[in-house]
């Protein structure tokens, strides 16, 4: 999946607050700490504290910080307690991932997404009708192909 497609549900969100510049930056950078040799302090210097904090919250691990991996429980707890824009980015990322699984199926990942999306991701944005609808649509499409 591409970083740009993850940002699409944010870019098309009807609420202007969901499209704030720092939210868009965090959506575009959401995987950088996991996938690139970038330290969160560099993110803070280049993009500001809000973006850096959001990306840290969205990261299960930080490639450049030994021992900074979050357990599954810690990861979902951090996100559940995060501000709404960060939770919206996670939902947008999952929407993109669900769409990708429909096009390029990988059964273990699909099974994981089918289990954890309703349990963890949907409650993150329960008050966001737009993203909740896109999550439901993505889950429905995936369930149709993987009953």
pLDDT of 94 reads: 95
pLDDT over threshold 60, residue 128: yes
The stretches of the chain forming alpha helices (DSSP H) are 3-11, 21-29, 32-35, 40-47, 49-58, 72-80, 84-103, 107-116, 122-124, 129-145
Closest by CA position to 12, among listed 130, 117, 102, 124: 130
Closest by CA position to 52, among listed 94, 78, 22, 9: 22
Q: Please report, for residues 9, 17, 55, 91, 129, the alpha-carbon distance to residue 13 in angstroms, rounded to integers and kept in the order given.
A: 6, 9, 20, 12, 10
pLDDT over threshold 80, residue 24: yes
pLDDT over threshold 90, residue 122: yes
Segment 87-116 mean pLDDT: 92
Residue 1 pLDDT grade (very low, low, confident, very high; cuts 50, 70, 90): very low
Longest dimension (CA), the chain: 46
Query: Which two tokens mark 68?
Result: 């900074």
pLDDT of 131 reads: 97
Residue 64 pLDDT grade (very low, low, confident, very high; cuts 50, 70, 90): confident
Looking at the chain, the whole-number percentage of residues with pLDDT higher than 90 is 74
Q: How many CA atoms lie within 13 A of 26 on its CB side?
A: 30
Query: Do 40 and 62 touch, CB atoms closer than 8 A?
Result: yes
Segment 95-111 mean pLDDT: 88
pLDDT over threshold 60, residue 120: yes
Segment 104-114 mean pLDDT: 90
pLDDT of 4 reads: 54
């Amino acid at each position: 999946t591409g970083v740009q497609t993850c940002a699409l549900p944010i870019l098309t969100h009807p609420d202007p607050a969901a499209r704030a510049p720092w939210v868009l930056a965090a959506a575009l950078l959401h995987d950088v700490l996991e996938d690139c040799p970038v330290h969160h302090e560099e993110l803070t210097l280049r993009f500001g504290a809000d973006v850096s904090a959001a990306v840290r919250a969205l990261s299960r691990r930080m490639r450049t910080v030994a021992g900074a991996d979050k357990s599954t429980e810690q990861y979902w707890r951090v996100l559940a307690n995060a501000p709404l824009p960060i939770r919206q980015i996670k939902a947008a990322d999952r929407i993109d991932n669900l769409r990708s699984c429909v096009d390029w199926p990988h059964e273990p990942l699909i099974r994981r997404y089918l289990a954890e999306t309703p349990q963890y991701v949907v409650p993150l944005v329960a008050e966001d009708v737009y993203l909740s609808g896109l999550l439901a649509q993505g889950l429905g499409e995936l369930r149709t192909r993987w009953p």
